[in-house]
Amino acid sequence: MTILDIKNISIDFPTSKGVVHAVSNFSLSVPQGRRVGFIGESGSGKTTTALAAMRMLAAPGYVSEGEIHLHSLGDTNVLELSDDEMRRVRLKKIAYIPQGAMNSLNPVMRIENQIWDGIVAHEGHVERAELQRRSRTVLESVGLPASVGRLYPHELSGGMKQRVCIAIGVCLKPDLLIADEPTSALDVITQRQVMQTLREVQETIGAGLILIGHDMGLMAQSVDDLAVMKLGKLVEYGTVRQIIENPQHEYTKQLISSVPLVGGESFIESTPEILRGEAGPLLEFDKVTKRYGNVTALHPLSFSLDGEVPKIISVVGQSGSGKSTMGSLMLGFNAPTEGTVTFRGKDINRLNKADALTFRKDVQAVFQDPYACFNPFYRVDHALKFPFKRFGLAKSESHTRQAMEEACVAVGLDPSLVLRRYPHQLSGGQRQRLIVARALMLSPKLLIADEPVSMVDASLRAAILKNIHDLKDKHGISILYITHDLATAYHVSDYVMVLYHGRVVEAGPPKEVIGSPQHPYTRLLIDSIPWPDLDRDWGSAKDAAAGLDALATGEAAAQSVFRGDITGFDLSVHA
Amino acid sequence: MGRIPSSYLGNRIVTLFLTIFIAATLIWIIPRLSPVDPAEIALGRMAAGAGTVGNSEDILAQLRAQLGIDQPWFVQYAKYLWGIVQFDFGLSTANFPTPVSALIANALPWTLGLMLISITITFFIGNLLGALMVWDHSPKLVKVAIPAAMVLTSIPPILSALLLMWIFSAKLRLFPLTGAYGLTVEPGWTWDFVQSVLYHGFLPALSIVVVTFGFWALGMRGLMIGVQGEDYTTLAKAKGLRPRYILYKYMIRNAILPQITAFALKIGMLIAGQVLVERIFAYNGMGKLLYDAILDQDFPVIQGVSFVIILMTAFSVFLVDLIYPLIDPRIRHGR
């Protein structure tokens, strides 16, 4: 039985520069109990289409033609309902599950109140005891203890907040759930847990599900049918197996191939000749420990990275594993509690002014959020020019321009198209490439890349990682790649360190560590990655939880497994 | 949320008194940088009254002794500090020899009454209007009328006061022209008196409200736009909550938080803002006291009034700091 029928709808956004056709002639039916994925890049109209079914399009968007029928309302066209009738449809018939890890819950209201107000808005007065019973039940159904109801959102982790959002969505047992990238802000382990929870409650209440996302791997593990969208058009639709095993449209093929796999073919071609740097240790950690109060963010660790043959060292782990702490220690943003961090033989926390300036030039960083890295007030060339001049590298205005243009070309951007623009006029991918270009202009010795691709569309990740990889091969820059994405680490790095609770639990060349993991934590990480492989068992939410519990209590967690060495990088872990 | 840890409270109290001490020191130093000698002013006043003054040198010396300005600066400073601890700001030079504290005690209740009523009304009206400017479901008329009303914000309070006075007192004769209460009623806790006070306070309060609500409305508008774009507002709508409920519990509830801090800061500044309004309506409050003191170069009164402003600001900020965790659960007092 069909629960939602989208018939030939088009959605327009009138702007001062003319009408933008966000979605055109889109038709699709969602059968009861079935999971339908909407996949596409940002701006492809997937969220817009789903929001249209709830009549929640952001102004000035509107449905210019077509109909959306909801079966449980006797096939009424939802576009013709009055505002108050539509209000009653939301949550009760169609529930929206936002990306909840960040900011989807009212920060000044207890969780239980945010479940109750939804119930009361649709059912009128309900006894307090009954409300309490229902919020408890629904929280338990998503695997949260009932006591969570008394807490405020900021007291929960990202994964817990996301599960609260699911609980709110299912509390009135709607016909249809619309989940908008519900796991994109979560790390792989939590992602698996939350996704499986969502599937379980959806099956229990028998609702249909529209899952919006851009990750083909996640879709393969989560949905039955898949709608591929590009530029507001439905380019391909079918069962997920049909689409993944036999994609017809060029764009679908591209989406599938952009998912980096562990093993399989590399998306990076190796360059035969690698530019050599100067010999001698570049970056060294000597028994470095970092504690915040009673919490140890990084357990004692020593390593030495030689600069002669540039390498990419990956640091992988979940959020909270201490990998970003490690990055900020390397950049000198944070001083270690014990031990020393040295760069080319000098303690980076005791540099004189001249050395500190050289250090800042030689060690560059690429961060997660490419938008936040630009001052929105200036055109982007300012961000490139400014450090170049400040570090005294600019010989003349034309020299600066030439350096900027060369750097842009090196990261695959057309300088004439991007340089004179403002940050908001560029895509996330373009911005991140510019950040890489900016680092490149300063010809650094070392680049710290902290989650450089986690905020860009899947289809662009490979290209940006290729840029970063080129820095090593063509420009002789050593790179520390901090990420939670093991598949990309597998392809780009020469050496991998897996961090768990501030401890290196497994380390070695990626073929060993990620290709055949031995430590239970590494195994859990790899099992949690969603791959576009339909025959792989992704495990249930309970498996994910059990895996983490076993680690938290087991002794294995504290032991480090070394899987082989590479020349120019020595690592030792202290008790 | 919950209990306030004693270490935090202790810290905060120390900061409170340190702030007051530093500010009190500044208001002691600043008038002393002026070349004017208060004793000469007092003498001048005598001369103006009596025509001539013999023995002027002796009288000057006597006046200086009485005002305590013949002593070394550190003695004066120590006496000053000891004095303010007991709310003793010395004697007014203009209304010699009335103690400053008596003048303040007379004026303060009037100002507190007028000020607290007008600032509270302004706060509620301003924030509500600011919120309605952003809310999707506001009537069209409201969305047009509020920005138009913002024009009033550009009027200085003295002009609004004169305008209201002209319309309501001079032309329509609805309200009295001046004074804080009628001449025919006896001050005291009687219904007649209270009525008279409210009747007399209405126009001054209104003249403050009409020109200052825009401050809150514009600030609130900006905050509301931010909150409107928040994911939790979107989710609230997707939950099918009633629009009015979303407005109060999701939008205003979050947007109001920074406004409350601003409110605390405003309380102290309002005496200063009210100076001319009180003067125009001949309303015997702190503003008028300060105005007259400045004209008369009456340093002890200026000091006393400034000190009260400081106390009020410092204490209102202190109170907001303490209650903030109750209104925003994300804020906790340091452990």
CATH number at residue A19: 3.40.50.300
pLDDT mean over A545-566: 76
Query: CA-nearest residue of chain B to A97?
Result: B235
Whether B237 contacts chain A with CB within 8 A: yes
Q: Which of A88, A96, A117 sits opposite B245 (nearest CB)?
A: A117
Q: Do B238 and A95 touch (CB under 8 A)?
A: yes
Please tell me the distance in Å from B2's CA to the nearest CA on chain A.
13
Residue A287's region, left for phi above 0, alpha for psi from -120 to 50, else beta, is: left
Residues of A in contact with B240 (CB under 8 A): 87-92, 118, 121-122
Residue to test with chain A: of B232, B248, B260, most A Cβ within 10 A: B232
Whether residue B326 is contained in a domain is answered as no
Q: Kindly state whether residues A219 and A319 are assigned to the same domain.
A: no
Which value does ipTM take for this structure?
0.81
Instruction: Identify which of B238, B257, B329 has the shortest CB distance to residue A54.
Output: B238
Distance (Å) from the alpha carbon of A110 to chain B's nearest alpha carbon = 9
**Is residue B84 one of the residues assigned to a domain?**
no
Mutation site, B227, B235, B326, B332, interface A, largest A CB count within 10 A: B235
Asked if the Cβ–Cβ distance from B330 to A107 is below 8 Å, we say yes
Least confident of A46-50, A317-321, A571-575, B175-179: B175-179
* Residues of chain B positioned with their CB less than 8 A from the CB of A99: 231
Contact A32, A3 (CB under 8 A): yes
Task: Give domain status of residue A105, yes or no.
Answer: yes
Cβ contact B245–A90 (<8 Å): no
Confidence of residue A96 (pLDDT cuts 50, 70, 90): very high
Of B231, B239, B253, the CB nearest to A168: B239
A168-177 pLDDT, tens digit per residue, is 999 999 999 9
Pairwise pLDDT comparison (A39 vs B187), residue with the higher score: A39
Residues 6+ apart with CB under 8 A from A32: A1, A2, A3, A175, A206, A207, A208
**Which residues, 6+ apart, have CB-to-CB distance to A515 below 8 Å?**
A262, A263, A490
pLDDT above 60 for B335:
no
Mutate to test the interface with B, among A47, A108, A164, A166 (most CBs of B within 10 A): A108
pLDDT for B190 beyond 90: no
- B75 domain residue, yes or no: no
pLDDT-based confidence at A187, cuts 50/70/90? Answer: confident
3-state SS, residue A4: strand
Q: In total, how many domains does chain B have?
A: 1
> Does B191 fall in a domain?
yes
For residue A7, the cross-strand partners are A67
- Please indicate, yes or no, whether residues A417 and A495 belong to a single structural domain of this protein: yes
Q: What's the mean pLDDT in B1-18? A: 80
Cβ <8 Å between B231 and A54 = no
Q: Per-residue pLDDT averaged across B8-15, rounded?
A: 88
Neighbouring CB atoms inside 10 A of A212's CB total 25
Domain-located, residue A525: no
Q: How far is A92 from chain B (nearest CA, A)?
A: 8
Check residues B52 and A526 and name the one with the higher pLDDT: A526
Instruction: Say if the Cβ atoms of A56 and B254 lie within 8 Å.
Output: no
Closest-approach residue (CA) in chain B for A177: B238
Residue among A88, A99, A154 whose CB faces B330 most closely: A154
Is residue A534 situated within a structural domain? no
**Which residue intervals of A171-315 are DSSP H helices?**
188-205, 216-222, 240-245, 250-257
Q: Quick check: B250 contacting A, CB < 8 Å?
A: yes
pLDDT of residue A265: 66
Q: What is the pLDDT of residue A89?
A: 93
Choice between B112 and A110, residue whose per-residue pLDDT is larger: A110
Rounded Cα distance, A337 and A347, in Å? 14
Going by pLDDT thresholds of 50, 70 and 90, the confidence category of residue A557 is low
Cis amide leading into B97 (omega within 30): yes
pLDDT, one tens digit per residue, over B209-232 is 888 888 899 999 999 999 998 899
| Candidates B231, B239, B254; nearest CB to A108 | B254
State whether B250 and A105 contact (CB < 8 Å): no
Q: How distant is the Cα of B143 from the closest Cα of chain A, in angstroms?
A: 17
Q: Is the CB of B231 less than 8 angstroms away from the CB of A122? A: no
Instruction: Report chain A residues whose CB lies below 8 A from the CB of B231.
Output: 98-100, 102-104
Within an 8 Å CB–CB cutoff, is residue B228 touching chain A? no
Residues A309 and A445 in one domain: yes
B240 close to A (CB below 8 A): yes
A251 lies in the same domain as A288: no
Identify the closest residue of chain A to B243 by CA–CA distance.
A87
For chains A and B, count residue pairs whose Cβ atoms are closer than 8 Å: 78
B236 touching chain A per CB within 8 A: yes
**For residue B313, pLDDT beyond 80:** yes
Nearest-CA distance from A115 to chain B in Å?
A: 9
Q: Among B239, B242, B254, select the one facing A91 at the smallest CB separation.
A: B239
Least confident interval from A190-199, A307-316, A341-350, A547-556: A547-556
Query: By residue range, what is the domain housing residue A135?
Result: 2-257
Q: Where are the alpha helices (DSSP H) in A206-277?
A: 216-222, 240-245, 250-257
Using DSSP, state whether A82 is helix, strand or coil.
coil
**pLDDT of the residue at A273:** 64
Split into its structural domains, chain A has a count of 2
Q: Distance from B289 to chain A by nearest Cα, in Å? A: 43
In a domain, A391, yes or no: yes
User: Do A349 and A493 have their domain in common?
Assistant: yes
In terms of DSSP bridges, do strands A569-573 and A295-306 run parallel, antiparallel, or are they unpaired?
Answer: antiparallel
- Residue-wise pLDDT for B43-99, tens only, equals 777 777 666 667 777 888 887 777 777 788 888 888 888 888 888 887 887 777 788
pLDDT at A274: 67
Average pLDDT over residues A384-399: 91
Q: Give the distance from residue B241's alpha carbon to the nearest chain A alpha carbon, in angstroms.
A: 5
Q: CB-CB: which of B231, B240, B327 is closest to A121?
A: B240
Task: Establish if B229 touches chain A: CB-CB under 8 angstroms.
Answer: no
3-state secondary structure labels for all residues of A521-545: HHHHHHHHCCCCCCCCCCCCHHHHH
Q: Which of B231, B236, B243 sits opposite A103 (nearest CB)?
A: B231
- Residue range(s) defining the domain that contains residue B176: 106-297
Residue A67's alpha-carbon distances to A21, A37, A199, in angstroms, are 17, 20, 28
Q: How many CA atoms lie within 13 A of B208 on its CB side?
A: 30
User: Is B244 an interface residue toward A (CB < 8 Å)?
Assistant: no
**Residue B245 forms part of a structural domain:** yes
**A143 belongs to a structural domain:** yes
Q: How far is A105 from chain B (nearest CA, A)?
A: 5
Q: Do A357 and A483 reside in the same domain of the chain? A: yes
Query: What is the C-alpha separation between A539 and A200, in angstroms, rounded?
Result: 12
Contacts by A345-349, CB closer than 8 A, 24 or more apart? A345/A280, A345/A281
Judge whether residue B298 has pLDDT over 70: yes
Spatial strand order in the sheet of A495-500 = A363-366, A446-450, A478-483, A312-316, A495-500, A503-508, A561-562
A564 shares a domain with A434? yes
A152 chain-B contacts, CB cut-off 8 A: 329-330
A283 contacts A461 by C-beta, under 8 angstroms: no
* pLDDT at B1 exceeding the cut of 50: no
- Distance CA(A465)–CA(A269), nearest Å, equals 12
CB burial string B188-226: b at 16+ within 10 A, e below: eeeeeeeebbeebbbbbbbbbbbbbbbbbbbbbbebbee
If asked whether residues A242 and A377 sit together in one domain, one would say no
d(CA A138, CA A115): 9
Instruction: Specify whether A34 is located in the same domain as A82.
Output: yes
Chain A CA closest to residue B253: A108
CATH of the domain at B174: 1.10.3720.10
Measure CB to CB from residue A104 to each of B231, B245, B249 and give the nearest one.
B231
Of A54, A56, A105, the CB nearest to B232: A105
Query: What confidence score (pLDDT) does residue A118 get?
Result: 94
Cβ contact, residue pair B235, A117, below 8 Å:
no
Does the pLDDT at position B12 exceed 80?
A: yes
**Min distance B219 CA to chain A CA atoms (Å):** 20
Using the predicted structure, report yes or no on whether residue A103 has a pLDDT greater than 90: no
Q: Report if residue B92 sits inside a domain.
A: no
Residues in chain A closer than 8 A to B230 (CB atoms): 103
Residues A443 and A490 in one domain: yes
Average pLDDT (A210-225) is 91
The pairing of strands A503-508 and A561-562 is: parallel
pLDDT of residue A75: 81
Per DSSP (E only), the strands in A293-331 are 295-306, 312-316
pLDDT on residue A400: 93
Distance in angstroms (rounded) separating the CA atoms of residues A190 and A218: 13
